[in-house]
Structures are given as structure tokens and as C-alpha cells.
Chains A and B, each alone.
Chain A
Amino acid sequence: MSPDTRPDPDKLLALVRHDGGEGVPRRGRLKVFFGASAGVGKTYAMLSEARLRLRDGVDVVSGVIEHHGRRETQALMEGIPVLPMLEIDHRGIRLTEFDLDGVLARRPGLVLVDEFAHTNAPGSRHPKRWQDVEELLDNGIDVYTTLNVQHLESVNDQVARLTGVWVRETVPDTIFEAADDIALVDIPSDELLKRLADGKVYVAEGANTRAAENFFKKSNLLVLREMALRRTAERVDAQSDELNAAMGQNEAQLGHKIMLLIGPDPLSTRLIRHAKRMAARGRAPWFAVYLQSDRHETLNEKSRARVEQYLRLAENLGAQVVRLSGAQPARDILTYARQNGFTRIMVGHRRIRWWLKPFRTAFAQQLIENSDGIEISVINGDVAPYSVTENVASSLRPFIARPIDYGVASAAVALATLAGLPFRDKTPSDNLTMLYLTAVVIVAARLGLGPSVVASILSVPAFNFFFAEPYYTFNFYDSYYYITFVFMLVTSLVVGSLTARLSRHARQVSERERETQILYGLTRALSSVRGVDRICEVAISHLSAPYNLAVSLFVDSPEGLGCIPKSAGPEDMKEMSAVRWVATNTQMAGRDTDTLPSASGLYLPLQAENETLGVMGLTPNGNGRRFTGSEILQFETFASLVAGALQRARRSDEAERSKVESENERLRNVLLSSLSHDLRTPLTVMNGSVSLLLKMRKELPRKAMDELTGLWGQLIRLQKFVGNLLNMAAITSGKMTLNFQPYMIQEIIGAALSQVQSTKENRQLRTQIVGNLPMVQIDGGLVEQVFVNLLENAFQHTASDGEIVITAERDADRLRIRISDNGAGLKTGDEARIFEQFQTAQTLSSDRAGGTGLGLAICRGIVQAHGGMIYARNNSDKTGASFIFTLPIVPEMPKEIL
């Protein structure tokens, strides 16, 4: 194998995980029964398969099934437990809805949820049913669902143009693509039409029959069928590509990388869908790019929100979103594209109005001229059936002011006139034009462009009427006034518009400055306080007043979510459930979001470095206020600031705690190492002396020999105790470093058996090796210790002629070792406790741990450090106990290496 085609283990592993392999906790599997239109038999197919699963013993329940009264479908539902639907009272109308919490509480293995694209009744947790399904999957529950192709986000507009029916219930493509299984349910269009004629296809109640007729035309059905087939094929291709990429065969994706330029123009949605289809067909990665140029500053709130909305749509459809900023859009975008290896740029284009042509080059034109190797696709927006009224309105926006503003503008002109009247004969009338100009500037600065234009236009006749002789007529003697009038008009228009723009700009700047001020104040205040409570107080005081909000913080602690301020804890169940949802899902929810939009507050997760610290709740004082996109963006910034501060507080608490702990740890280690040294030396000496004396059997009296033998036994015990103490110290301090090496477990058992040779007395030790055991990757010395400790423990609790059996066998990816004796056994309740430190005969009801009370705790420490488990239980035949532990097996070595 050459290095570049070798399988990438991480990628393969990721694929396996994706297949729902070893991931703990496991995410549920999603299977979508996918069809071209209603009536192809998706629900039927889903139920048939569910019945098979039910027969296999899977816990299947039906969450929602729309059988539309079809008898065949109803017959299939028999035998599948049905979960009751939730009844929701919405303004007096009783609606039934899928009971998400019911399913979560019931925790079935598989739940059937019909109509993936369904929009939930108002007041449900999620606006869309696919979001309910996501939550089910997150909770490890498998889901079967059904979907028609027209409900897919990316084909939505195609279907609309094709059939004239605009489907509002859509499912993001990413969700569809993330499904583990897609089952295409397909029947020929003629058959479907026949079914329709036979009345076997349900056509939505109250749906416009004509629209339905329109929809179920053969030509439409053919196209929809093609779309469904193609989408399924694309998915299969994408999967095989994923596999190929992981296997190192990456040709399919060779090259293409698509960039889509997004702007505030509504044309963008069409571009996004188009780009998505193009990317999917070419299996190319695609990026949605928004260039934040100077023009961004002049965009109004609505346009900015639209940009955000388009970027979100692109993200939903699988694009990566990039925001660039630069002063020269075409050049900056091309540079970025070249640096990042894009092969194609897609851009929308609108025809430039004829009178602007000499001054402007179309953006697409600029791109094309400098593209230099990068393919530029231009989508012409003018032929689209989309209305451009909004666009026109937005360019007229500066002129739209409140009527009273125009009144004020007129009044300003009148005031200028009054102010000028006393000076009419004292100064040349030209000077008086300045008065009007001043008025126009003031109006422009205060009221904007529209009123300033009105003021400019009114100024000319007013000047003429009051200050050009003859007074009080619109006639004038001097033809010189023509020039005055024209200049006056032009100057005031130009000055007015400049001032208006400047003042609008200034207002924006001051708005941003206010935001920055709040941000700065908050940052400074947060950095100067300590402790969670103080941080919360600071955050609340800095955010409540400027935004006129009630701020509440829910800080995650071991005791649950604690609300600060304590008085403001929302007693409302709905608010609390939103808070909990945000805390578990770490996504924002509540007011003006997609999740639980009926909550009165907006809830943001407090998240820092992937650590969830709590939830921030923002409830506006006074009803009816909507949070704008940019406000929510600001709130997110604040939330991340607060989260950072809370994290620091948490860290410093932890540091404080760990400092105390490490001090204790150090003391303990000093104590233990001096213990070890001070005990070992005399022990070695005593051991040596006693063993010497024992050799002088012939020279010593018999009584002295007996005493010496007793002393020898106690010495051995003391030695073991010291040894265990030191082992335990190493385990509890976490300083035990494992020296992993491959072993046949027989080798370790053999070594342990020879160690206990001297202490086993007359006990029978048998070893059973079941089958061919693979090697294990272990620290040989430590596992030997486990055997020695378990054997010695067994010795203590069996008669001196007892029998001890060691069994080693393979259990899937582990080795299981059992050491069972025929002694007194364990008393109920001691099975787990015996592995605790210092559990001895005094503290345990059964005299099982015996001796030092450390031996078994050491076993547990060592086995756990190896990633294994250890437990004890009484033998089923009521004679003695078994101690069982497992060790992970090394993966088999490829044969070729040997």
C-alpha cells in the first residue's frame, strides 16, 4: 500500500460511529421512507417494516400515524402499541399533536412518526416535527418517518415553480442527509394516477381541489418522481464517496469547490437553492460568502436581517458560512477564492438601470473581468418571478418619514422666513438665503433626507415670496434671481442630503458606541468581581437598564440550575421548561427563536469552551416587543462574556480546592515515602536475621524455634502490609504508571502461582483456560499482583485443604478471569463494599477482606487502570465466592507481520 491510499483510521472510525457503533450514549437511528408524492405508500411501507421489527422483539410504538382512513393501512397498525396523542387547546380549538415528552418518558426502542415535515401546533416545544425527531434521536430512540420530496428545502422552489403549489412545510436537507437509512418508496406515475382515480389517495382536507388537480398532473408526477429518485441516488453516491474518501480513493470529489455570494437581495434564496443543487450534484463542498463592505453600513435593519436569514438558510442547506470584510468587493472575493482553492463562484445579477450604466460596472462583470481561471456563474435575477417591490421600497426608505416630520420641515422654513423678515431691507437678500440653508441643514440632521428635500423645495418659493422684490408675489424684477433660485435649490439639496447621511451615520455610530459602552462596562465590571453571585449581579445590573429587560441567570451547579436573582425565578412552567431545554441542548430558545417561541423570555445558553455553565434569560419589560436579529447577536456576545466570567469563577474555585487537595496529597506522599523507607530497612534486617536464625535449627531449643516461626509469620504479614500500603498510595495518588506489554495470561497466572506456593498450604489450585486465549496488553507486574492478592484473599477464607479454581476465558473483546473458592462465601451486601479501602472484618459483616483491608482495593485500582472491571459474588451452588475481573484484549495482529 502506498501511504496516500492507506485507509485513514480516524475517518473509518468516524464512519463506524456514524453507523451507531460504539458511541455511548448511542444516538438513535433515523430511517426515512421517502417518496415522490402522497399516495405512493410510504406509511404502508413503514408499518410493514415496523411489524417485522416488532416480531424481532424490538419495542416498537406508534407515535403518529396518519392513516387517512385507508383500510389497508389501518389493518397494518394492529398489534403495534399506539401512544396517545397530546391534546392542545389553541384559542378554543382542540388540536392533537405528537406527544414528544410521552415518547421520551416511555423510552421505546423504535417510534413511528409519520409526516416528517409536519408543522407543530402553536405552543409545542418545537415548531417543526423534524425537530421533535431530532430530540428523540439525541435521546437514543430510533425513529421511522415518512417524507415527500417536495418537502425538502432545496427542491422547495423548484416544486413551487413547477406545480404552482408553495409548500411551506420543509425539512432541511442536512437533516435528510444525516438520516441513517433512506428507503425509497416508488411506484410508477400511471399507477399513482390510477390510485388517485380509485380514491385511494388522500388529498388534504379543505385543500383547493383545483390546486390538487393541478398538482397530480402526470407531468408533475413524472418530475417529482425523477427528483425523488435523483435525491436518493445522490445520497447513495455521497455515502459511497464518504467511504471512498475514508478508504483513500478520493477521485469523485476531485477539484470542485463552490462559493456562493450572498447579499441582501431576495434573489439570494434562489441562488442558495441553486448552489445547493449544483454542489450536491457535483458532490462539491460549498460556501456561502457574505462580503461586509462599506455598503453594509448603509443597509437598513431589514436588509441586514435578510442577509442573516439567507446565511442561515445556506447553513441549513449544508453550506459553510463565511463572512469577509473588505473595501474592494470583487478583488477581495477573488483573492479569498484563490487562496482557498475555489473553482467556481456563483453570483446573482440584476440589470443596471440605463441611466446608471455610465457610472457603474455590474459586480458580476467586475468578477468576470478579473476571474483568471475561476469559473463565474451568473444568475440573472431580472427574469425571476420574484417581486422586486421590497427592493424598491428599501431604496426609497430615506424618503419615508412620519408625516409630522414633513410638517416640522415646513414649519422650519416658516421660522426661517420669520427670522429673516426684520432684516429684509437692511441686508442684500442673497444673505438671507443662508437662513433657509441653515433650516435645511437642521431639518436634515434631525429628521433625515425626506424632510430636508421638502424643506429645500419650500425654501425657494418662500424666498421668492418674501424676500425677492416685489414682495408677497411670486414675480421678481431681477432676472438675476433665476440664478439665485437654482443655486439655492441645488445647494440646499446637496447640503441637506449630505447632512442627512452624516447624521444617520452618526446615529449608527452612537448606537454602536452605546453597545460598545455596555460591552466595555460589562467586561470591566465582570473582571473586577469574584464569585458566581457577584458576577450574576453585575451582569443583571449592566443589561437590565439599557435594554429595558428583566434579566435572570440560571447557573449550573451540582445542586441543579440555581436562579439569580432568587426572587425573579420564573414560576411559570413554560419558562422553566425553556430554561431546562436550553441547558440540555445548549441552543437558544424562547421568544423570537425557533424553539418554544411562545415563551415570554429569550433564553441563551451560557457556554464557554464547550462547557455549559447555565442559561441567561431575557424578558422584555412590557409586551409586544420583538427582539431584532442584531439585538439577539448582541445578547449572544453578552452571554458569552458572562459565561467566560462564570467559567473563570468556577476554575478559580476548582483551583482553590485542588490546591488544598494537592497540599494534602503532598503530605500524604511525604508520609508514605518516609514510612516506606523507615519500615523497609528494619524489615529487611529482621527478615534476614530471623531467616538466619531459622537455619540454626539444630543449635536452638525447640521452644525458641516455635517462637521464631511465629515471629517469621508475623514478619511476612507486616511486609505484605507495607507493600500494599505503598501500592495503594500509588493507585490513589494517580501516580501509578502502567507499563503495557503484551502477555499470554497463562504466563502471569504461572508467575502468581509460584509466588503463593509458600502460603497455599494444602489448598488445591486448579487453572482452567477455556479455548485459545488471545494476548492481553497489560502491566504484567501489576496484574500478577491482582492474582496474588485475590489468591491470598481466597486462602484466608477457605480451609487449609480448600479448593480454588482460576478460570480464564474470552468474552467478546475482553478476557474474563474468575477466581472461585469453596469457602464461606460473602454476606449479602458486601459484594461491592469489599473493594473499598480499609474494609476489614470489623467493618464488614462477613470476614471477607481480612488482613490489611487493602488487598482488594488494590486489585480494583489496578483492574480499573487497565480499563477492566472487578466484582465479587457468591457461587450459584452456595459454596464459596467468586472474584471476577476483566481485561481488554489487544486487537489481533495482522498475519502478514509474523
Chain B
Amino acid sequence: MTDSIRILSIEDEADIRKFLRATLGANDMTVIEAETGREGLRLATSQTPDIILLDLGLPDMDGMEIIRHLRDWTSIPIIVLSARGQERDKIEALELGADDYLTKPFAAGELIARIKVALRHASRPKGDAPFVYDYDGLTIDSAARRVRLDGEDVRLTPIEYRLLSVLARNSGKVLTYASLLKQVWDRHSPDNQTYLRIHTQHLREKLKDDALNPRFIVTEPGIGYRLNP
């Protein structure tokens, strides 16, 4: 980590801001603090941070509104901090373009790990640019459209390949069911999640992955799927 990582924390609770400052500071990150949504939006434009930590329960603005404003002009990674049991909020935030979420209370290690994933993701090529994924014996070469597991070629159907490549392109990040359906099936996306389940199951079988103890594809119940980084 270089000391150039600058983090904007939009959080109304002074105590949590203090904790974030301490935790992040200890990891050589610079923290820019905003108490309200408006201030946060202003600082995001003037300071261009590398990453934004956004509390969803701000007094002056709806968290979703802030994400929408930010996503109008920037793709700075956004990590949402939310209270427990607000699955719907998380899904909405993810669908609006947030990169990840953390449920309060969370441990310092967890926060640092998520920030690193988000940053790595941000540095990756965007859009349809070719990419290479390599993790725990699974390699995906999107230019060659080739998937290998422990040195062996894996034969995937077009849908399975699309599903895997969408997950790999966003590896480490949770993709909601709805966004997976949209990206994999494109315009013809079925509104039934059963399809997604069935294809995911087939994909897991081919990758010798076990839902009970996932090596690659992790289920986030109620939210979506994530490919291990």
C-alpha cells in the first residue's frame, strides 16, 4: 500500500468516524471526513478520493440518492456501511452501483480487506476489455475464451461461460441476482431466478466446486453471488 490511498468517509456518527480514522490511519491510508451527504458529495468532487465509505443512514440525504449522484459522473469505488437486517438496502445500493457493503458492527480487518478488493477491482480494465483471472487453480483467459481448472480444459455452455466471466470480471465483489440475470442474459433476461440457480449449479459441478464449502463461487444469501478473488 502506498500512502497515496485517500479515503472519503461519509458518516454522521463522530465515534465511528474516529474509529475509521484510527483503523485506516494505522494502515497508511489518508481519511477525508464528511459529516453529511452534501458535504460528502462536495468533497468527492473537490478531493477526488480513491475510495468512498458511505453510511446509508445519514440525516440530511438518502444514501441511495448519494450513490446515484456519484455514479452520474464517477466510478470511484463505493463501499456501503449499513446496519444488519437491511438486505433490501444492500441490494439496492449494489444495483445503483455501489461496489461492496459492510454490515455494522464490523472488524477492522474486514474493512481493510474489502477496501483492498475494491481498489484492486477499480484498477482492473473496464467494460469488455479482455482480462485474465487466475485463482486457486482456476484460470480464465477471456481473450482466448478459455477456462482451465487445475491444468485441464473445462467445457462450458455459452451461458455458463458468460456467467463465469461476468463473475470473474467482478471477482471479489458481490453481484446481485438481478444484475447477474441482466448481464448474463442481456435483453432476454428471464425474471425467474431459478434459471440462474440451475446454471450456477451446473457451473459449480463443472468447476468441481461444492456449494457447501465453496472454493470459487460463494453464495451471499438474500443478496447474490461472488467469485473468490
B211 at the interface (CB under 8 A from A): yes
Closest chain B residue, CB of each to CB of A712: B107
Q: Is the CB of A753 within 8 A of B213?
A: yes
- Which of A684, A686, A688 interacts with B22 by CB under 8 Å? A688
Which residues of chain B have C-beta atoms less than 8 A from A742's C-beta?
193-194, 197
**Per-residue interface assignment for chain A, residues 712 to 755, with 1 indicating a CB less than 8 Å from any chain B CB and 0 otherwise:** 00000001000100110010000000010111101111110110
Residue B122 is within 8 A (CB to CB) of chain A in the complex: no
Asked whether A691 is an interface residue with its Cβ less than 8 Å from the other chain, the reply is: yes
Asked if A396 is at the interface of the complex by the 8 Å CB criterion, the answer is: no
Residues of B within 8 A of A897 (CB): 192
Chain A neighbourhood of B85, CB < 8 A: 723, 726-727, 730
> For the complex, what is the distance from the CA of A703 to the CA of B88, rounded to whole Å?
44
Please state if A688 and B210 are interface contacts (CB–CB under 8 Å): no
| Chain B window 187-221, contacts with chain A (Cβ cutoff 8 Å), 1 for yes, 0 for no | 00000111101100100000000111110001111
Contacts of A686 in B (CB 8 A): 105
Asked if A784 CB lies within 8 Å of chain B CBs, one says yes
Q: Does residue B145 face the partner (Cβ distance < 8 Å to A)?
A: no
Taking CB atoms, residues of chain B closer than 8 Å to A767 are 212
Q: Among the listed A680, A684, A727, A747, which residue makes an inter-chain contact with B221, where contact means beta carbons less than 8 Å apart?
A: A747
How far is A779 from B19 in the complex, measured between Cα atoms in Å? 33
Task: Return the contact of B18 from the options A685, A730, A751, A769 (Cβ within 8 A).
Answer: A685
B108 A692 Cβ-Cβ under 8 A: yes
How many angstroms from the CA of A682 to the CA of B16 in the assembled complex?
8
Cross-chain contact B108 with A780 (CB below 8 angstroms): no
A676 within 8 A of B: yes
Tell me which residues across on chain B come within 8 A of A781, comparing CB atoms: 87, 221-223
B residues 85-137 near A (Cβ < 8 Å) are 85, 87-88, 104-109, 111
Question: Are A680 and B107 neighbours in the complex by a CB distance under 8 Å?
Answer: no
What are the residues of chain A within 8 A of B87 when measuring CB–CB? 739, 781
- Complex CA gap A793/B203 in Å reads 34
Pairwise interchain contact B201-A744, C-beta atoms closer than 8 A: yes
A893 to B26, CA, bound (A): 53
Beta-carbon contact of B222 and A684 below 8 Å: no
Interface size for A (C-beta < 8 A) is 45
CA gap between A89 and B19 in the complex, in Å: 92
Known: A683-B105, A750-B212, A898-B198. A692 touches B221 (CB 8 A): no
Cα distance A893–B197 when bound, in Å?
Answer: 12
Known A750-B213, A898-B198; judge A684-B109 contact (CB<8 A). Answer: no
Chain A 676-696: CB-based contact to B (< 8 A → 1; otherwise 0)? 100011111111110110010
| Central interface residue in B15, B26, B83, B85, by most chain A CB within 10 Å | B85
A561 at the interface (CB under 8 A from B): no
A-side contacts of B222, CB under 8 Å: 739, 741, 779-782, 784
| A865 at interface by CB-CB < 8 Å | no
- Mask: chain B, 158-179; 1 = CB below 8 Å from A; 0 = not: 0000000000000000000100
A832 to B22, CA, bound (A): 48
Among the interface residues A751, A754, A897, A898, which one has the most CB atoms of the partner chain B within 10 A? A751
What 1/0 mask marks residues of chain A from 648 to 676 whose CB sits below 8 Å from any chain B CB? 00000000000000000000000000001
* Inter-chain contacts of B141 with A (CB < 8 A): none
* A residues less than 8 Å from B197 (CB atoms): 742-744, 775
Among A681, A719, A739, point to the contact of B88 (Cβ < 8 A).
A739
| Residues of B contacting A791 in the complex (Cβ-Cβ under 8 angstroms) | none
Distance (whole angstroms) from the CB of A226 to the closest CB of chain B: 56
- Residues of chain A within 8 A (CB-CB) of B107 are 687-688, 691
| A676 B83 Cβ-Cβ under 8 A | yes
In the assembled complex, the Cα of A898 lies from the Cα of B214 at a distance in Å of: 25
Structural contact, A775 and B211, CB atoms closer than 8 A: no
B219 touches A780 (CB 8 A): yes
Contacts of A744 in B (CB 8 A): 197, 201, 211
Q: Which residues of A contact B198 (CB under 8 A)?
A: 898
Interface pair B194/A751, CB less than 8 Å apart: no
**A750/B219 in contact, CB under 8 A:** yes
Whether A680 and B104, one on each chain, are in contact in the complex, defined by CB atoms closer than 8 angstroms, is yes
Closest to B211 in A: A746
In the assembled complex, A783 has its CB within 8 A of some CB on chain B: yes
| B28 interface contact, C-beta 8 A | no
Are A750 and B210 closer than 8 Å at their CB atoms? yes
Complex CA distance for A861 and B211, rounded to whole angstroms: 26
Q: Select which of B23, B83, B195, B211 is within 8 A of A680 by beta carbon.
A: B83
Interface string of A831-842 (1 = CB under 8 A from B): 000000000000
Q: How far is the CA of A299 from the CA of B207 in the complex (A)?
A: 88
B214 touches A684 (CB 8 A): no
- What A residues does B201 contact at CB under 8 A? 744
| Bound CA–CA A870/B182 (angstroms) | 37
When chains A and B are docked, how far (Å) is the Cα of A279 from the Cα of B197? 53
Closest to B25 in A: A692
Interface contact B108-A688, CB-CB below 8 Å? yes
A816 to B201, CA, bound (A): 21
Closest Cβ of chain B to A461, distance in Å, is 98
Residue of A nearest to B107 (CB): A691
Query: Closest residue to B199 on the A side, CB-wise?
Result: A898
Contact partner, B108, options A695, A750, A779, Cβ 8 Å: A695
> CB within 8 Å of B: which of A689-708?
689, 691-692, 695
Q: Are A681 and B16 in contact (CB under 8 A)?
A: yes
B-binding residues in A (CB < 8 A) = 676, 680-689, 691-692, 695, 719, 723, 726-727, 730, 739, 741-744, 746-751, 753-754, 767, 769, 775, 779-784, 890, 893, 897-898
Not counting A686-B105, A897-B192, a sample of 9 additional A-B residue pairs whose C-beta atoms are within 8 angstroms of each other reads A680-B83, A680-B104, A681-B16, A683-B104, A695-B26, A719-B105, A744-B211, A750-B212, A750-B213
20 pairs, CB–CB < 8 Å, chain A vs chain B:
A683-B104, A683-B105, A684-B104, A685-B15, A685-B16, A688-B16, A688-B23, A688-B105, A688-B106, A689-B22, A723-B85, A742-B197, A748-B219, A749-B211, A749-B212, A750-B218, A775-B194, A781-B223, A782-B222, A890-B194
Give chain B's interface residues, CB within 8 Å of chain A: 13, 15-16, 18-20, 22-23, 26, 83-85, 87-88, 104-109, 111, 177, 192-195, 197-198, 201, 210-214, 218-223
